[in-house]
Structure 1
Amino acid sequence: MVSLSKLSELALDRSAGGRQSLVEAVTDMFLAAPPEQVDHVSLLFGDIVLKVIGQLEDEARMALAVRISDSPNTPHDLAFHLAKDDFSVAQPMLENSPVLTTSDLVDIASTGSMDHLGAIADRRPLEEEVTSVIVDRGSSSVLAKVAGNEAARFSANAFDLLVEKARAHPQIQEALIGRNDIPEEGARRLVSFLSEELRRRIQEMGGDNTLVNLLAERAAQEVHAQVRDLGSAKNKADMLIRDVKARKRPVDDAVNQFTKGDRPVDLAMLFAELSELPHESVARVVFNPEDTVLNILCRANGVSDVAYKNIVMMRAKRLKLTTKDLNDAFTRYARVQRGDASRALQAIKERMRKAS
């Protein structure tokens, strides 16, 4: 341990180097103090260092902070002073010092830089009072860090704000999905804007937590809605086909609606009903690369050249037709006469009757 005479000698040296040597000496004395002397040495250490700390270079303050950051005996006033210093000095104190209180952390989080907030966000544990300030002030990277800190605790209001801020920042969303303490209402809002990739990762996590359960519930609701929508769409399609068959609506109305909605099954049903042919047979015709039979069905049932172009465009997506293919298809259809098509359709129906 450094002798008192040596300390007195160092105290007389008022140069920057002398002040650094003094601080190093009393730090050595503080860290080496036996348990029975630690309280007394700690008071002496804090008193000396706080008196000269304003005269220390950045490097000296950084070295001091690193050496005492994890000590439970560091004088509180010194720990707080270093934690509010420039970030290069404050970082080890903010990350490790057990001496800093919740009130200290709230104070520093309220006025410190984003780097200071980021260091605090990693502390374990982290109380609600501190996280509320971080969520209010923090950048997206700081919020992602505090959201990923499993030992951080959040008030209901802080969680609400954090989830709302996550809407525009996928990195915060990614951190939040690993938490098990998100309130149900906040979790519902979070799930509503998560990407498919993050939803998949939640499902892979498994277990019994709010997000997993909400995704399962949401998936069931979506399936139910799809089934309901499919049923509604089918009913509407059936009504439209009936109207066309009863000549209440022109055939082009149905063709345009089914093609623009990319609904080949309904289109096939339309021509099957109008032509009195089996649906499965017509369904094969709709996407057969050879379009002779399709041209017969369309022209015989009064599909205009304009509406037929919509059929060709729908076919083009799946058959990968070129521009030349499209133009050739339009030309072939324009050459088909309705009378010829009607006779050809009767011949097709006759062959099918004989075959059955």
Structure 2
Amino acid sequence: MAVISKLDRLSELAREKSSDRRRALLREVTDLFFDAPPAKNSVLQRQFDEILSSIASQTVEEARVELAERFADADIAPRGLVLQLARDAIAVAAPILERSNALSEEDLVRIVHETGQAHMRAITARPEVSERVSHAIVERGDDRTVAQLVRNEGAKLSRETYETVTRRAETSKTLQAPLVERKDTPPDLLNDLMLVVENTLRDKIMSRFDKMEPGVVEAALAASHQRLQARLREDKEISEAKDFIAKRKVRKELDGSLLARLLREKKRVHFCVGFAEMAGVDYTAAKRALEHPSVDGLALICKAAGIDKALFVTIAVLRDGAAADALADARALGELYESLSLDDAGRALRFWRMRKDVAA
């Protein structure tokens, strides 16, 4: 009861206008929190959260930095306050983003998508970074941010994320050394870099190959060769498809019937180029929407781009070939399309179009 009484009194004092008094008050409430930590998810913890968040928002940055340092290593911390500090100026946010266990994986992914490079770099310094968070950072981070992530051995990278970083490293010296020097970079991806890295890094790759079993090296070389050959074939097909779609667009023949025909004829690259052009997204987004097990991405793009329900259903059915129960699938797909909010679809499409613009 004594803690509650004192907290109520401090809450009254929170109306103070003086900056110095608010800073002193922030210390008092923080001291009280650590002197008698409230139970997790208790009413008292929520009261602390509300008061600390309110006072912190009205104090100078230096005071918020001090507050962030105190709560960064706390086993129990007010969730609202921690999220507020994590989105603050980087001087305030850094201790929280680098060390706080109060941030969930979902919190970190959201922060990656809502903040800038400095905040992402702070997250890459965490002792552990999950595959999902790493993937989000690689999607949005610049080369300096991604390089810092790759250097962190506590960061977990999925195979897909490794492949994305390797593709970027082919034209980015900033990424090459961290990727070559990382202990668990897949050997076949290291081989992809052999022709583009400088001699010292090439020597490091060769040195790693020398320590591997011959069978492992042979498998890595074969996988790398197959992937690079596939990319060359796809790049050539994409180039041809772009010429084809450009001509159809000039003739005003780029429409739903053309897209459906391309899918029926198994010309998936041509379809993706045409679909991307119609929807205003990049080729990668179109390809993922077509190939992903879930049809949600395809539905979002179609809804937001004004592609009608009938064409969406046709594409969704044809992407895996017309099944025996295609009619039942069509009904469910139509219901999915109708259930989508135009606002949600629009937000998703704005992101994909922004990514296309950045790539351009």
TM-score, with length taken from structure 2: 0.53
* Cα deviation, residue 16, structure 1: 2.3
Specify which of 15, 19, 23 is matched with residue 22 of structure 2.
19
* Cα deviation, residue 94, structure 1: 0.6
> Percent identity between the aligned chains?
32
Specify which of 93, 99, 102 is matched with residue 102 of structure 2.
99
Q: Distance in 2 between matches of 1:121 and 1:56?
A: 28
Alignment of 1:324-335 (within 5 A): none
1:34 to 1:139, Cα distance in 2 relative to 1, 3 A: closer
Aligned to 2:168: 165
Q: Distance in 2 between matches of 1:167 and 1:175?
A: 13
Aligned to 1:141: 144
1:79 to 1:208, Cα distance in 2 relative to 1, 3 A: farther
1:209 to 1:25, Cα distance in 2 relative to 1, 3 A: farther
Q: Which residue identity does 1:159 align to in structure 2?
A: Y
Structure 1, unmatched stretches of 5+, are 222-356
Deviations 1:222-272 (CA, angstroms, capped at 9, x unpaired): xxxxxxxxxxxxxxxxxxxxxxxxxxxxxxxxxxxxxxxxxxxxxxxxxxx
Deviations 1:47-72 (CA, angstroms, capped at 9, x unpaired): 21122332111111111111111112
Q: Distance in 2 between matches of 1:155 and 1:37?
A: 33
Q: How many residues align?
A: 218
SS class of match (2:126): coil
Deviations 1:41-93 (CA, angstroms, capped at 9, x unpaired): 64332121122332111111111111111112111221111101111111111
Q: Which residue identity does 2:141 align to in structure 1?
A: G
Specify which of 105, 119, 122 is matched with residue 122 of structure 2.
119
Aligned to 1:250: none
* Cα deviation, residue 204, structure 1: 4.9
Is the 2:191–2:220 contact (alpha carbons within 8 Å) kept by the matching residues of 1?
no
* Cα deviation, residue 124, structure 1: 2.3
Aligned to 2:13: 10
Task: Determine which structure has more spread, i.e. the larger CA radius of gyration.
Answer: 1
1:136 to 1:209, Cα distance in 2 relative to 1, 3 A: farther
Aligned residues: CA RMSD: 3.2
Q: Distance in 1 between matches of 2:176 and 2:151?
A: 10
Aligned to 2:60: 57
1:133 to 1:9, Cα distance in 2 relative to 1, 3 A: closer
Specify which of 156, 159, 184 is matched with residue 156 of structure 1.
159
SS class of match (2:76): coil
Is the 2:153–2:182 contact (alpha carbons within 8 Å) kept by the matching residues of 1?
yes
Q: Distance in 1 between matches of 2:11 and 2:57?
A: 19
Q: Which residue identity does 1:131 align to in structure 2?
A: S
Is the 2:49–2:78 contact (alpha carbons within 8 Å) kept by the matching residues of 1?
yes
* Cα deviation, residue 99, structure 1: 0.7
SS class of match (2:55): helix
Q: Distance in 1 between matches of 2:76 and 2:24?
A: 21
Deviations 1:151-178 (CA, angstroms, capped at 9, x unpaired): 2122222211101111222231111122
Alignment of 1:259-270 (within 5 A): none
Q: Which residue identity does 1:105 align to in structure 2?
A: L
Is the 1:188–1:214 contact (alpha carbons within 8 Å) kept by the matching residues of 2?
no
* Cα deviation, residue 6, structure 1: 6.1
TM-score, with length taken from structure 1: 0.54
1:181 to 1:92, Cα distance in 2 relative to 1, 3 A: same
Structure 2, unmatched stretches of 5+, are 226-360
Specify which of 98, 109, 128 is matched with residue 112 of structure 2.
109
Alignment of 1:144-293 (within 5 A): 144-204=147-207, 207-208=211-212, 213=217
Q: Distance in 2 between matches of 1:36 and 1:176?
A: 44
SS class of match (2:195): helix
Q: Which residue identity does 1:135 align to in structure 2?
A: V
Deviations 1:109-136 (CA, angstroms, capped at 9, x unpaired): 1121111111111212111211112112
Q: Which residue identity does 1:58 align to in structure 2?
A: E
